[in-house]
Amino acid sequence: MKLDLNDIRGRFPILERTVGDKPLVYLDNTATSQTPREVVEAVVNMYEHYKANVHRGVHTVSQEATDMQEHTRRRVRDYINASSVEEVIFTRGTTEAINLVASSFGDRFRDGDEIILTVMEHHANIVPWQLLQRHKDIKLRVVDINERGELDLEQYKSLFNERTVLATFTHVSNVLGTVNPVKEMIRIAHEHGVTALVDGAQASPHLPIDVRDLDCDFYVFSSHKMYGPTGVGVLYGKKELLESMPPYQGGGEMIKHVSFNGTTFADLPFKFEAGTPDFVDIAAFAKALDFIEEVGLDNIREHEEELLRYTTEKIAEIPGVKIYGTAPHKSAVLSFNVGDAHNYDVGFLLDKLGVAVRTGHHCAQPLMERLGVPGTVRASFAVYNTKEEADIFISSLKRIIPMVL
Ligand code: PLP
């Protein structure tokens, strides 16, 4: 299907704005994607008509707000093909979801246990495990990459031993764009009786997610990278696993009964949702999922891959440009440097021409160290980006290169 890009772009008000006197070319979608009008309107609608605390009141507005939040939970369940809504926990984002697992599932780890992760992880999937190391003598075993930016699967297999308690890896690298063979990696983890957590922050906006087909134990992602509102994330966990885990935070909504002699906890999913959730944004997140399904993930992926292919070819021809991440199976992320120019200078000058790209270490400093660079410039695509925008980016880059070298 050919996308109606005019219609799609028309639904994203921010794409009409300028930066200085230049039209905005937004290529920082990996950090956060833009939000269509219907999602913004859903947020406004919640504030204007449905703002009452959820799961608390018998009154009509509270019940309506609760219904809207729980509607999104059912939408997420269907979107990722979870078995039940009890397996869908709302968090503030991917980061909080991983911290929840580290704190709650990590409670059972013992001194000497080992966690396998990869050199391409975002800090959100490194630091929570390091925080555990303050209390427990846990070892982190790190899977390396090859020169194309693909994981070394042989090394991955070799890292399992009887002390391995968790394998955790990103589905898609936020720097290299590599799509990892997570189904296979989960299968290998399970062969060793090891639990597997997938960081889906960069996969969920681009790839279909089927947690039952993947057979992952945990899968985490953020709404704001999926055309949705900020402040909402999802932790998917297998029910029996979540049931066996202690609460992460204590407070309202996650209890059955509280007394000073002891407290009993609510059933799933509420056991892990202490306090007032961001029910306004959770409710609006359903509209973002509607948007993705209306446009179609296959169409989104095809369009983004075409932009990636086109831009990569053009950028690779420019003398001095080095691209990081050349795996054949790649998502719409293009990381590069220009000679020994500082990534910040490139990003700064591109911004003067209206082109928004990311610069720096992309919250993946161990990967930068592995690549031997302090940072990269990163362009990343979403469904609303056009070939014309890719051309503006490419010509702007050519224009600024003599200024940075
Ligand atoms: N994991 C990956 C692979 C990411 O790219 C990001 C954000 O860029 C995160 C985790 C953290 O997501 P959030 O900041 O929404 O919690």
Question: 248-300 pLDDT, tens per residue?
Answer: 999 998 999 999 999 999 999 999 999 999 999 999 999 999 999 999 999 99
Rounded to the nearest angstrom, the distance between the alpha carbon of 124 and the centre of ligand 1 is 6
What does the buried/exposed string (b/e) look like for 228-250 if buried means 16 or more CB atoms within 10 Å of the residue's CB? bbebbbbbbbbeeebeebebbee
Nearest residue by C-alpha to atom 14 in ligand 1? 95
* Structure confidence by residue, pLDDT tens digits, 341-362: 999 999 999 999 999 999 999 9
User: What is the reported pLDDT for 1?
Assistant: 62
CA of 78 to the centre of ligand 1 (A): 22
| 201 alpha carbon – ligand 1 mean position (Å) | 5
Confidence of residue 2 (pLDDT cuts 50, 70, 90): confident
Residues 143-172 have a mean pLDDT of: 98
Please compute the mean of the pLDDT values over residues 353-379 and round it to a whole number.
98
Closest CA to 169 of 191, 201, 192: 201
Per residue in 196-208, pLDDT (tens digit) is 999 999 999 999 9
Residue 320 CA, ligand 1 centroid: distance in Å: 30
Contact 92, 275 (CB under 8 A): no
**CA separation, residue 317 to residues 323, 342, 398 (Å):** 11, 20, 11
Which residue carries 């060793």 as its tokens?
Answer: 192
Contact 331, 174 (CB under 8 A): no
Which helix or strand (DSSP H or E) is residue 336 part of?
A: strand 333-338
Please give the Cα distance from 22 to 283 (Å, whole number). Answer: 35
Tell me the pLDDT tens digit for each residue of 327-338: 999 999 999 999
Determine the 3-state secondary structure of 129 from DSSP.
helix
Of 94, 170, 174, 335, best ligand 1 pocket probe by most atoms within 8 Å of the beta carbon? 94
Based on its alpha-carbon atoms, the radius of gyration of the chain, rounded to whole angstroms, reads 22
Instruction: Tell me how many degrees the CA angle 250-253-258 measures, rounded to the nearest 5.
Output: 65
Which of 122, 281, 285, 358 has most ligand 1 atoms within 8 Å of CB, for mutation?
122
Q: What angle do CA 313, 172, 136 make, to 5 degrees?
A: 145
pTM of the model: 0.98
**How distant is the alpha carbon of residue 15 from its chain centre?**
22
> Which of these is catalytic: 363, 368, 374, 398?
363
Element (H, E) at 110: none
> Which residues lie across from 337 on neighbouring strands?
322
Where are the extended beta strands (E) located within 112-265? 114-118, 139-143, 164-170, 195-199, 218-222, 233-237, 255-259, 262-265
H helices of 105-191, in order, are: 127-132, 153-158, 182-191
Nearest ligand 1 atom, CA 124? 10
Q: Is the dihedral of CA 271, 274, 275, 276 positive or negative?
A: negative
Residues with CB under 6 A from ligand 1: 31, 93-95, 122, 124-125, 170, 174, 199, 201-202, 222
Distance 225 CA to ligand 1 centre (A): 9
> Six-digit token pair at 77?
């369940």
What is the number of helices (H) and of strands (E) in the chain? 14, 17
Q: What is the pLDDT of residue 343?
A: 98
Looking at residue 57, its pLDDT comes to 80
Bond preceding residue 402 cis, omega within 30 of 0? no
pLDDT at 312 over 70: yes
Percent of the chain with pLDDT over 90: 98
pLDDT of residue 56 exceeding 80: no
3-state DSSP of 305-316 = HHHHHHHHHHHH
In this prediction, residues 150-179 reach a mean pLDDT of: 98
What is the distance in A from the centroid of ligand 1 to the CA of 336?
Answer: 20
Distance (angstroms) between ligand 1 centre and the Cα of 122 equals 7
Number of the ligand 1 atom closest to the C-alpha atom of 172: 3
Residue whose pair of structure tokens reads 């293009």 in the numeric block = 334
Ligand 1 atom nearest to 363, measured from its CA:
8
Average pLDDT over every residue of 44-69: 95
**What CA–CA distance (Å, rounded) separates 96 from 125?**
10
Distance from C-alpha of 372 to C-alpha of 349, rounded to nearest angstrom: 24
Answer whether 364's CB lies under 8 Å from 325's CB: no
Question: Tens digits of per-residue pLDDT, 131-157?
Answer: 999 999 999 999 999 999 999 999 999
Tokens 């078995």 correspond to 83
- Residue 363 annotated among the catalytic residues of the structure: yes
Point out the ligand 1 atom lying closest to the alpha carbon of residue 173. 3
